[in-house]
Amino acid sequence: MKNIVLVGFMGTGKTAVAKALSKALKFKYVSTDELIEAREGMPISDIFAKKGEPYFRDIETQVAKEASAMSDVVIDAGGGIVIRDENVAALKKNGILVCLTASPDSILARTRRLKTRPLLNVKDPKAKIEELLKARASFYAKADYQIDTSKLSVSDVAAEIIRKRHCPA
C-alpha cells in the first residue's frame, strides 16, 4: 500500500492528523522534522540559527528520500519540504501527497504561542504567513489532494483522507 504524505504550511494540523491516520491505518508514524532533529542532535530552530536555512533544506532533502523509501508509513512532512521539486518527486514515488491547508487566521491562532517556529519569529507573523502561503501556493498545488482544515476536527480530516485514498476523485 502507498504511504500517505502530509504536506502543508505549519499550523495546518499535519502532526495531529498524521498521528491519527497512522493509528487508524495501523501504519508507522514518521516525522521528517523529528528525523532531522535526531540526525543533527538539535531542534530545528537551532539548526536554522546556527547553520542556516540552506543547510536545513539540504538535510531535509536527504530525509525526504529516506522516508519515501519506507513502506506503510504516514509521513508528517515539514512545512517547506515542497519547495524542492526533488522532494515532491521522492515523496510521490511511493506515496499519496495530501496538502493540508488553513486560513492565515487559523494558522496564526494555532502557532501564536509557539516559539519554535523560526519563520514566524517576526514583528508581523500574519503578514509573514500570508507571504509564505502565496510563495508556496504553486508547490502545495502539486499535492494529489488538498483539504482545508480551518473548520474541521483532526478526526474529520483523517476520515476525509481515508475516504479519498479509497475512492479517488
Structural domain includes residue 92: yes
User: What residues make up the domain containing 67?
Assistant: 3-164
pLDDT class of 69 with cuts at 50, 70, 90:
very high
pLDDT digits (tens, 9 = 90+) for 30-50: 999 999 999 999 998 899 889
Tell me, what CATH number does 26's domain have? Answer: 3.40.50.300
- Where does 69-124 have alpha helices with state H? 85-93, 104-111
Structural domain includes residue 118: yes
Q: Is the pLDDT of residue 78 over 90?
A: no
pLDDT digits (tens, 9 = 90+) for 96-119: 999 999 999 999 888 877 665 656
DSSP lists the bridge partners of residue 6 as: 76, 98
pLDDT class of 70 with cuts at 50, 70, 90:
very high
Count of C-beta atoms within a 10 Å radius of residue 152: 17
Structural domain includes residue 169: no
* Nearest of 27, 12, 1 to residue 143 by alpha carbon: 12
| Portion of the chain with pLDDT greater than 90, in percent | 75
pLDDT class of 17 with cuts at 50, 70, 90:
very high
- Give the pLDDT confidence score for residue 80 in this predicted structure: 85
Structural domain includes residue 73: yes
Number of domains in the chain: 1
| Portion of the chain with pLDDT greater than 70, in percent | 94
Q: Is the pLDDT of residue 169 over 60?
A: no
> How many Å apart are CA 2 and CA 73, to the nearest integer?
8
Structural domain includes residue 51: yes
DSSP lists the bridge partners of residue 75 as: 5, 30
Structural domain includes residue 48: yes
pLDDT averaged over every residue in the chain? 91
